[in-house]
Amino acid sequence: MNSSDPFQNLYQKSFRKGSATPKATKEYSENSSLQKKFKTDENLLNPYFNFRGRTLSRIAFGCYRVGLESPDHKKALELSLREGFNVIDTSSNYGNGESESLVGRVLAAKIESGELKREDVFIVTKSGYIQGRNLQIVSELENTDREFPEITYYQEGCYHCIHPAFLEDQLTRSLKRMGLETVDVFLLHNPEYFLMDREKHNVPETKAKEEYYKRIKNAFLFLEQKRKEGKIQFYGISSNTFPENPEKYTSTSLLKVLELAKEIQTELGLEESGFAVVQFPANLLESGFLERKFEGKSLIEIVKDNGLLPLVNRPLNAISSQGSIFRLSFDPKESQDEVLKNVKDKLNTVYSWEEEFLRILPSGSYKYTFRTVTEPYLDQFQNQDHLSQFLERTVIPILQQLISQIETVAGEQKQGEYIDKLNEALPLLERYVHFHNIKNSNMLYEKIVKFYPRYAGWNLSAAALHLLHSSLKEGVVLLGMRKESYVQDAEGSFAAPLTPIQEKDWNRFEI
């Protein structure tokens, strides 16, 4: 890691010792705002549960799409820790390394101020993807014949690897970005990319899976060594395919992974296996984790039977059986038509401002504006992901050219004014698309209230999270709390005791 290291400016200046401990996490929870608000009332859900002696919050600060550039992300993470959410889930590729660096900076500041101890917080990170800065590193190594072994070249711009040599490199970088000597959990991040690639190349499934589990076992052997060195406390796998039908080519079998973990435990003479954590998607429209299709048991039953910690991702971004993506967000107290009108009025204000502002540029010197590339399409976006793709592939490249032209003609101050106005407008676009496509969310909300009247008056997000708490019993839901308001909203899911709910109940929610 020399001066040309693309992550150099993301590394912390020092390393903090320690990891989450039973004593510290218990004291942290007992003194938290969450504890004061919820645990004292038997009609409310305890925001905490115990995993191997450690007291963990049922909701984690999920760091997907979290980075250094947004002050909102920093404020939200600080608030989550202040409130009592003591689980953080990040990854080496989130924010191109910036997510881990933000976690490190916030932790360092809070520890130095005495607000927090390292031992209070349970930190999870992941590795496997080769993108962005990591892709730059890998490409430079390959140019000098020093490449990492067993890279899966899935597609341009997205490679994958879980070979010990790569994991060693990634763990070292993750610890430096977070400024930690030890991370509580280190996960293999979607290792099924190997199977997806082999399926694409028509490799026989039996042959592909034999190699797949061989690679996972070698990774686990490496991670046991890192446990021995004190670099990690536990390890596991984050896989989107854990809940899938076991007959599917790309499925990852938790039963098979547990066999590998036990083999390693026996071979190394370990008192306890370090394999302790599994992460998978679950939400109201994706109930595969509750279906009894794994030798008569459900995924969550296998997790519980083996004392594993379940981490649920995508709790509010659901994929229906038809493949449509829904954001599980709806507030029955808000009028859809009224909100749409208010948002559209605000967008029109931005559009008018832009028209006046761009008079600083010579007439005819530009072809597109924010208004011309967004307004005609406002009612055509199917969901937030559709909008995000359009922004990334079409709108942002066009606006970057316009921003550069403004700087050249009018200077940095005017360029900054325009960028500030765009940053004000983008959330308005997201809100408009959300409320324009809220019909299905409203239908789902009405179904929930019909079968579970206790949720009347709740917003859909809180109800969706509470139903996940009720099915997990003890586990962590990873939530993208990128704004302080999201942190506050998350607390609403603790506003009632667990709901008796069974696998068949989830089938009622399909839309």
- pLDDT-derived band at 461, boundaries 50, 70, 90: very high
Of 112, 298, 275, the C-alpha closest to 188 is 275
Cα–Cα distance between 147 and 153 in angstroms, integer? 13
Residues 169-199: tens digit of each pLDDT? 999 999 999 999 999 999 999 999 999 999 9
Cα–Cα distance between 466 and 489 in angstroms, integer? 12
Task: Please tell me the predicted confidence (pLDDT) of residue 333.
Answer: 80
Task: Please tell me the predicted confidence (pLDDT) of residue 3.
Answer: 47
> Does position 313 have pLDDT exceeding 90, yes or no?
yes
Residues 123-182: tens digit of each pLDDT? 999 999 999 999 999 999 988 888 999 999 998 888 999 999 999 999 999 999 999 999
Task: Please tell me the predicted confidence (pLDDT) of residue 15.
Answer: 96
How much is the average pLDDT of 433-455? 83
Residues 237-255: tens digit of each pLDDT? 999 999 999 999 999 999 9
Residues 220-237: tens digit of each pLDDT? 999 999 999 999 999 999
Residues 67-102: tens digit of each pLDDT? 888 899 999 999 999 999 999 999 999 999 999 999
Residue in the structure block whose two tokens are 């970057």: 400
How much is the average pLDDT of 410-426? 90
> Does position 46 have pLDDT exceeding 50, yes or no?
yes
Residues 6+ apart with CB under 8 A from 203: none
> Does position 339 have pLDDT exceeding 80, yes or no?
no
Structure tokens, 123 = 């930190």
Average confidence score pLDDT of the chain: 92
Residue type, 402: L
Cα–Cα distance between 468 and 477 in angstroms, integer? 8
Q: What is the DSSP string of 167-225?
A: HHHHHHHHHHHHTBS-EEEEEEE-TTHHHHHHHHTT--HHHHHHHHHHHHHHHHHHHHH
- pLDDT-derived band at 354, boundaries 50, 70, 90: very high
Q: pLDDT exceeding 70 applies to what percent of the chain? A: 96
Task: Please tell me the predicted confidence (pLDDT) of residue 40.
Answer: 67
Question: What domains, with CATH codes, occur in the chain?
Answer: 22-327 (3.20.20.100), 336-438 (no CATH)
